[in-house]
Structure formats: C-alpha cells, structure tokens
Chains A and B, each alone.
Chain A
Amino acid sequence: MLEIQNLTAGYGELEVLQEVSLHIGPAEIVALIGPNGAGKSTVIKSVFGLTHIARGMITFKEKKITKMKTSDLVGLGISYVPQGKINFPSLSVLENLEIGAPAGQDKALLTKNLSFVFHKFPALREKREKPAYTLSGGQQQMLALGRALMREPALLLLDEPSLGLSPKLQKEAFTMINSLRADGIAIIIVEQNAKKAIEIADRTYLLEEGKVVLEGGREMITHKKIKSVYLGGRY
C-alpha cells in the first residue's frame, strides 16, 4: 500500500534520514522504534510532505507521492496525528471533529463518520459541545484520533499516541489502535515503548541515527539488541 524507497530527507540542509526503506500493506500495523533523534517522526512527516526530501521515492497505492503537497495528500486517504499540540483547544469537540472532514463533504457522509467516531469514543459524544481544552489527556488523544478518522483514511500515521498517558490509558490506546486495524486501516505508529510497539505491530523497524538497523515481526522482542538496549533488561 505504502512503499518508501531509499529515502533521504530532513529539514532544510540537515539530513535526518539516510536511505530509509520500508513498506506497509493494507490493514497492517507497522511500528517505528528507536532512541530520540533517530528520525522516527521524520519518516512519517516525510510521507505527509512535511520535510525536505533530498532523494528517494514514496509511493502510495502505486502512485508516486514524493514531494506532494500536504493539502493534496489528505485527499488521497492519508491522515496524520502529530504529537504535542494535537487539538484546537478553544474549538468545541464537535468542531474539532468536523474540521477533519474534507471541505464540502456530503452531509450524510459527515454524519455517518461522526457517529462512527462517537461509537469508537463514547466519551467524546458526551462532551461534544464543550471546548477541547476541557478534555483530559486521554480524551485529547481520542479527539485527535477521531479527527483523523473523519476522512475515512486508508493509512493512518500516528506520532507517539501513548505519550503522556497513564499505563491504563496507554493500554486502552493500543487496544483502540488494534481495533482500527480490524476496521481495515493501515497504521504506521511511532512509539517510544519498544515492547508495546513490537507486540502490537505486524512488523517493526528499529531506527538509529537516521538508518533502519533492524526489522522484523514479533520475534524481534527476543532479539539481543532490542533486549539489551531498548528493553533495558527490565523485561
């Protein structure tokens, strides 16, 4: 579905990624793990046209999307949930969701997608008229995810969806991501928690200093390198 070939990209003159290649199929979860500054977020930002791409190629559904404008990519069925400030705090929950829908979308389709999101996240339905800043951290994450779903994406790019959540909420977030795969959505997830990421993903890529140094399925959890460096011997 999405294929990245020999991607070298970064910001301005700075090249963060060196020759990164990866791929994801329909309804698959791919996790990107690695230390801070390894370029995990840069990979998904590059897919979404938010970096400077020096070399390499990205194709989505057999179509070349390298260097396509962000506004055009949204239309193709790719949604991106960044990290950090992920909502519009003074807009209501409902407005935060509706703004995710494509401009001029059919009213019936909008209602359908809205009820899908409210079905997935009942807490948002209760607070639909409240401004987004009144939501808790976990609900903020749901809202951002909900907005991304309003476009019925085929591919979802998630940048550290578990960041800042309590262990209980993290677990809920991962269950949710799993259920989205069951709905047929392909997901690339950037994750700090290597163990959780490997568990949930069909395939995991380990990045270090802008390069893919290891890739594999769930068996990666037993890999020596992962065990010693990323699981810190604690597991």
Chain B
Amino acid sequence: MVMSQLVMNSLIAGSIYALVACGFSLIYTTNRFMHFAHGTTIVAAGYLLYQLFQVLGIPFFAASFVSICLAGMLGLSTYYYLYLPLQKRKASNIVLLIASIGVLIFIENLIQLIFGASVKSIGYIKIARGMDLLGAVITPLQLTIILSSIILLGVLSFLMYKTILGRNMRAVADNPELSSIIGIDHVKVSKYSFLIGSYLAGIAGILIGLEQNLEPTMGTSLMIKGFTGAVIGGVGSVPAAALGSYLLGFAENFGIWYLPSGYKDAIAFILLFLFLLFRPSGMFGREKGASHD
C-alpha cells in the first residue's frame, strides 16, 4: 500500500522532471551550452495559461494551445535574438551560460512585476478525490501528467531516431565540426532544438500549473530538478536525461520514506553533487574518450 503510493508519487515527480530535463538536454546536446532560462519558459507558459484562461476566460484548451505556442516562440527568440548574435561575436559558452542566467532572472522578475509575488492557481480541474489505482491513491490530473509525459517522450524519441531532423540533431550533438563540414546547417538545427525543447517546457508549464500553485521563482527550482535529472542520466543524451529524471523522482520519494520530508530537495542536491564529482557523464552516458576514433 505505502509502497505502491511511493512508486506512484515517484512517477508523478519523475514525469515532470523528465519533461523539463528532455527539453533542456535537447538544447544542450545540439548547442553545447546550458540554457538555464529554460526554467522560465516553463513558468511563463503557466502564467500565460493563468492570464488567458483564469483572467480572460478563454476556453481551457485554446488557452493551453496558445500558451504552448508562445512558450516555443519565447525559447526560439531567446536563441535568435540573444544567443545567436553572441555566438556570431565568438562568445564562449561561459558567456552564453551567464546570458541565460540573466534571462532567467529578468523574466522571473518581469513575471513578478506583472502578476505580483503572491501565488496564483489555475482552477480548471476541481479538486477531485483521488481514485484507487493498484493500491495507490492518484488524482485524474496526476494520471494525466504521467501519461502525457510518457506519450511526449515517445514522440520525442520518434523525432530523434526516425526522422532526418532528429538524425541531424544527433549528428550535431555527436560531432559539431564534422556536421558542418558535411553541410548540416547548424543554425537551423539549433532553431528547431530551441523550438521543440521550449514546446516541451510549455507543456510542462501547463501540467505543473494545474497541479501546483504558480510562483514567479518556481522556474529556478524546476530547472535545478530537471538539470539534476539530466546529470544523473547523462546530460549528453535525451533518453538518458529522461531516465535520470525518473530515477531522481524515485530517489526523492523513497528517500523521504526514511528521512523527514524537508530533506526532499536536499536529496536532489546531494545526488547532483555526487554525480558531478564522481560520474559527470551520468549513469547511461558513455565516458568521455570512449567514443573517440
């Protein structure tokens, strides 16, 4: 009983982390720098939904669709109007990282300026009594989160492994120099990775916005969880980042079975710390050097 509840809670948390981590990892592998502003794309989508649905009264699905599209545009414009001009000026990846943290702080504060610091909630789904599933209590929304995450990860793997665009993305991730020598357009690949990664962030934002209260600064903590998940799995590979995120979900929820629940976030930080120290390539990542010809 307790066990199945813990498994269910782990899956719910893991699903959310996986959506965050996959988008982040997709952008990281094809661009080789950390787009930490990814976190704010998630929050922006949540707040957009709040504004469109809760305040303006636009039907829920239309409002969600618009929010996801705008999240995609937000990610794409960050690349096109900020990172790309910096790259053209030969900025190093550290400069891009700092720029991305700048965007994170800027948008968080912009949201706070517009919506205020108090929490907002989206009342689309009335608080429902949980249903019983294999001995665990789960709300329909939580089940939706798990299923949407699994479906989206399936769609993403199809895109990555069965389409030309996905193949080119993996090629750029594998060997950027060679991919430009054989004529793959890096800017195009980057644009698509930002667009797709940010769509995923938008969907994550909608699901999180329904499940929890919205706060302007929640992007940073979500980003830390997604990043930790990606590092545990292996930040250089999208499927590995997804698996790592589920593992993080399990580690957190099973950890607080033994520890006071206040330590939940600490578990993530300790794991992040240990992996960065002892296995920076992640659980499923190939050790650097093994892939050299």
Contacts and interface: CB of A to CB of B under 8 A. Distances in A.
Interface of A: 48, 50, 70-71, 74-75, 80, 82, 84-91, 95, 98-100, 102-103, 133, 137, 140, 147
A147 B175 CA distance: 14
B167 A80 contact: no
B174 interface: yes
Contact of A89 (B183, B184, B293): B293
B276 to A, nearest CB: 22
B181 A48 contact: yes
A98 B173 CA distance: 17
B170 A74 contact: no
Contacts of A102: 183
A85 B237 CA distance: 19
Given A85-B292, A89-B174, A89-B293, A50 B181 contact: yes
B181 A87 contact: no
Nearest to B167: A95
Given A70-B181, A85-B175, A85-B177, A91 B170 contact: yes
B174 A91 contact: yes
Interface residues of B, number: 23
Contacts of A137: 293
A158 B293 CA distance: 16
A87 B293 contact: yes
A75 B181 CA distance: 12
Contact of B178 (A74, A75, A85, A133): A85
A99 B175 contact: no
Contact of B168 (A82, A84, A99): A99
Nearest to B164: A103
Given A84-B293, A87-B293, A140-B293, A99 B181 contact: no
A86 B174 CA distance: 11
A91 B160 CA distance: 11
Nearest to A143: B293
Contacts of B181: 48, 50, 70, 80, 82
A82 B171 CA distance: 16
Contact of B182 (A89, A100, A133): A100
Contact of A70 (B175, B180, B291, B292): B180
B171 A99 contact: yes
B139 interface: no
B179 interface: yes
B185 interface: yes
A21 to B, nearest CB: 25
Closest 4 CB pairs of A and B: A89-B291, A88-B174, A74-B183, A71-B183
B1 interface: no
A90 B293 contact: no
A90 B185 contact: no
Interface in B50-67: none
B182 A147 contact: yes
B290 interface: yes
Nearest to B291: A89
Contacts of A74: 182-183
Contacts of B167: 91, 95, 98-99
B178 A87 contact: yes
A88 B180 contact: no
Contacts of A91: 167, 170-171, 174
Contacts of B180: 70
